[in-house]
Structure 1
Amino acid sequence: MLMKFLAIAIFFLLFVTQVVLAQDEIPPSEEVWPELNAFYSFNSKYRLFTMISGTKVEKSYYSDGAFGIHLDYFKPYQAKRALGKYDSLKNRLLRVRVGYMYGTTPPSAEDPFKEHTLLTETIHAFPLSYQLLITAKNRIDWRIRDGEFLPRYRPRLTIERDCKTHYLTFNAYLYGEYFLNFGKPNINRWRLCGGAEIRVSRNLNFEWYYLYQFKNSPDVGKVNAIGLVLKAYFHAVNKKNK
């Protein structure tokens, strides 16, 4: 209970701090973030996660892309209730992830860059009443961008709920995330995001979300982003149960 209270309090204070910062009349950047994810579960404890993502800014030639490969470890015990039938993350109270990501822009981009990132991440889940779930994510990005070492800490607090209708099975969520760049507070940023992940088939999900980034400084402006994610899930064949 204490951890929940502290996490909520920290995110509230960060949110208030960002909102109070002076706002200007510069319109937010309108962006689209497409992404493709593939998950391969070796067993109940280990999973491989690969992803390809991109960014396209409306009314601009700017675009970028990223590729990542990660290994997930799930603590081998289940939650007291079924939190999600189609993603093993929601049946575990703790997940640890390590991975590598490479990001770049086309050579003709307005603001070209190359970025290598080693990431470490933990997610703790806290089941609540009314079939709600709070997850606290702590992620550190060990980034090298154009030869400069730029580590950052990314705490995220999410509240979500699995929902089911006659036609759809989906997970609705809302989260806040802060980007704390060590030694470079001018590029810190605060984001709010809401969305839903829809079950398309046994091994395929589609996620849609809307994200808003608050202005922090001349280097970090406001952003309106629409995210579209296609997720494919695969599992190792258990010969004993085949």
Structure 2
Amino acid sequence: MSRTPARFSGLKSLIPLIFLIFTASIVRAQNRDDTAADTQIWPDVPISIKIDPNYSVIIHATVRLGRNNSAFVNEQVGIGLRRAFGNYFSASLNYRYLNSEPAPARLVREKRIFTDLTPRFPLGHGFQLQDRNRLEWRDVNGRINYRYRNRIQIERSFDIGEKKITPYLAAEAFYDTRFRAWNRKQFFAGSRLPLTRHLTFDGFYMRQLDDRVNPGFLHVFGTFLRLDL
């Protein structure tokens, strides 16, 4: 019988812990986020082009709906290079251009360069933990700042007939040098489902809590339609 390494045995508690934090944060924010709340739809389309067994070019595009799904509030295009180091670590370097209008007549233009470092840990019983670390250089309307993002995700795959579905829970924290604070938290619940050999659907719900931007308290219904070539 396989045994989970001792240093990972406590990590399985992340599932109820993320759920409890998620629920408690919504309750705490309920009375203060009315004027800064929004419901948005994020339909992202990443395309991964494998150039050899370890390297892939990533192309990313999205147009996001906000203001309670009544207007386009964000458009993004980007490109990156990803390197896989075996099955349990990957790194990438990316560029993205963002055009945002979070509120009428408030325009934000951003050029972003970021790197991702993502170790993965098998937890036993089919569970896997991902720890994505992202460092961003951002030119926002001509002003330079930096941001660090740490996303912890736990997932497990299940066979349903001939398909494999992978539900997951995730939490991400943001440190922004503009505020010198951990200002943003995001909590995710979602699932991935391969539709064909090259196409994967990822649907999720995300709750964002951020009292430094407006709107900062978001309910997001999102999809990733990932094409692997």
Q: TM-score range by the shorter chain?
A: 0.7 to 0.9
Q: Is the 8 A contact 2:33 2:217 kept in 1?
A: no
Cα displacement (A) at 1:63: 1.5
Identity in percent? 21
Alignment-derived partner of residue 83 in structure 1: none
Q: Is the 8 A contact 2:60 2:78 kept in 1?
A: yes
Answer 1 or 2: which has greater strand percent: 2
Q: Is the 8 A contact 1:198 1:206 kept in 2?
A: yes
Alignment-derived partner of residue 138 in structure 2: 143
What amino acid sits opposite 1:39 in the alignment? S
Number of aligned positions between the proteins: 213
Query: Compared with structure 1, are the counterparts of its residues 151 and 122 closer, same or farther at alpha carbon in structure 2 (3 Å cutoff)?
Result: same
The partner residue of 1:127 within 110, 122, 127 is 122
- Tell me, yes or no, if structure 1 residue 46 matches structure 2 residue 41: no
Cα displacement (A) at 1:105: 3.4
What amino acid sits opposite 2:113 in the alignment? L
Distance 1:138 1:111 in 2: 30
Alignment-derived partner of residue 26 in structure 1: 34
Q: Is the 8 A contact 1:96 1:123 kept in 2?
A: yes
Distance 1:224 1:164 in 2: 30
Distance 2:93 2:9 in 1: 24
Unaligned runs of 5+ in 2: 1-5
What amino acid sits opposite 2:136 in the alignment? D
Alignment-derived partner of residue 195 in structure 2: 200
Distance 1:196 1:185 in 2: 33
Q: Is the 8 A contact 2:40 2:219 kept in 1?
A: yes
Q: Secondary structure at the match of 2:125?
A: helix
Alignment-derived partner of residue 67 in structure 1: 77
Distance 2:132 2:213 in 1: 28
Alignment-derived partner of residue 185 in structure 2: 190
1:110-147 per-position Cα deviation (integer Å, ceiling 9, x unaligned): 42111000001100000011100001011011000000
1:73-92 matched pairs, under 5 angstroms: 73-75=83-85, 77=86, 92=87
Q: Is the 8 A contact 1:195 1:209 kept in 2?
A: yes
Cα displacement (A) at 1:66: 0.4
Alignment-derived partner of residue 170 in structure 1: 165
Query: Compared with structure 1, are the counterparts of its residues 153 and 4 closer, same or farther at alpha carbon in structure 2 (3 Å cutoff)?
Result: farther
Q: Comparing 26-35 with 179-188, which one deviates more in the overlay?
A: 179-188
Q: Secondary structure at the match of 1:201?
A: coil
What amino acid sits opposite 1:32 in the alignment? I
Cα displacement (A) at 1:206: 1.0
TM norm structure 2: 0.82
Q: Comparing 60-69 with 23-32, which one deviates more in the overlay?
A: 23-32
